[in-house]
Amino acid sequence: MKKFLLFLSIILIPLSTYATPINMTIGDNDGFGFGIADNASVSTPFYDNRDSNELSATDGSQHTDIAYYPHEGVYPIPAFDIIFPVMGNLISGVFTFDVQGIQLGERPDIQKIEIYFNGILQENLHSHYTGGRGSAVISTNISDEVLAAGQGSNEFVVTIGENRWDAVGYDFFNLTGEVEIAAVPAPASLMLLIAGLMCLFGRNHLLKK
């Protein structure tokens, strides 16, 4: 009996849920296309250094290596999404992004750019002052509220909100953490095999009595 139960457990273990680590980056981490180091300064606050792959991308890379300054006619889009296809339920995570040009507080008309995780507003991620040409790598832990909001979607969505008179650019967006992969349903043939083995085992057990 013990041997049979051990056999069943070996068969069914692969069918249970499991957590797997992820490390996903959107954008090429090339210093905003200038090749500068992390937390360094760009040579000009107005630029479009996207390569051909970024120009044709649809995963969010198309929004990197370019000055996001719509009120001056530079990259005039109201907002955009960065979508990480995690292919499961994100159960823990850290979000990191490299941003350039945060000037919040310099003038009254410069307002904070809102950023959302799975539709939930994140405070103060665009409050780290860098100056017009400076940059900063910023990381934050993903809250339980955000994780719960993304359950069942198989993705983690970052929304960069409307730019309000702050000239910024993004080099890359990174997500690390753990994803819980859903159990794979057992095929009907396997279930029939298990049922047959149980019947056979029961018959042999009765005959031995």
Q: Where are the alpha helices (DSSP H) in the chain?
A: 2-12, 52-55, 144-149, 188-208
pLDDT of residue 6 exceeding 60, the answer is no
SS3 121: strand
At 10, which amino acid appears?
I
Tens of pLDDT, residues 54-108: 999 998 999 999 988 665 666 667 789 999 999 999 999 999 999 999 888 777 6
Q: Angle formed by the axes of helices 188-208 and 2-12, to 10°?
A: 180
At 99, which amino acid appears?
V
Taking the C-alpha atoms of residue 11 and residue 197, their distance in angstroms, rounded to an integer, is 12
Give buried/exposed letters for 41-73 (b at 16+ CB in 10 A, else e). Answer: bbeebebebbeeebeebebbbbbbbbbbbbeee
Beta strands in the chain (DSSP E): 18-26, 67-68, 80-84, 89-100, 115-117, 120-122, 135-141, 156-160, 168-181
Q: How confident is the model at residue 163 (pLDDT cuts 50, 70, 90)?
A: low
Q: Give the domain ranges of the chain.
A: 23-182
CATH of 23-182, one of 2.40.50, 1.20.140, 2.60.120, 3.10.450: 2.60.120
Q: How confident is the model at residue 46 (pLDDT cuts 50, 70, 90)?
A: confident
pLDDT of residue 137 exceeding 70, the answer is yes
Bridge partners (DSSP) of residue 160 are 80, 115
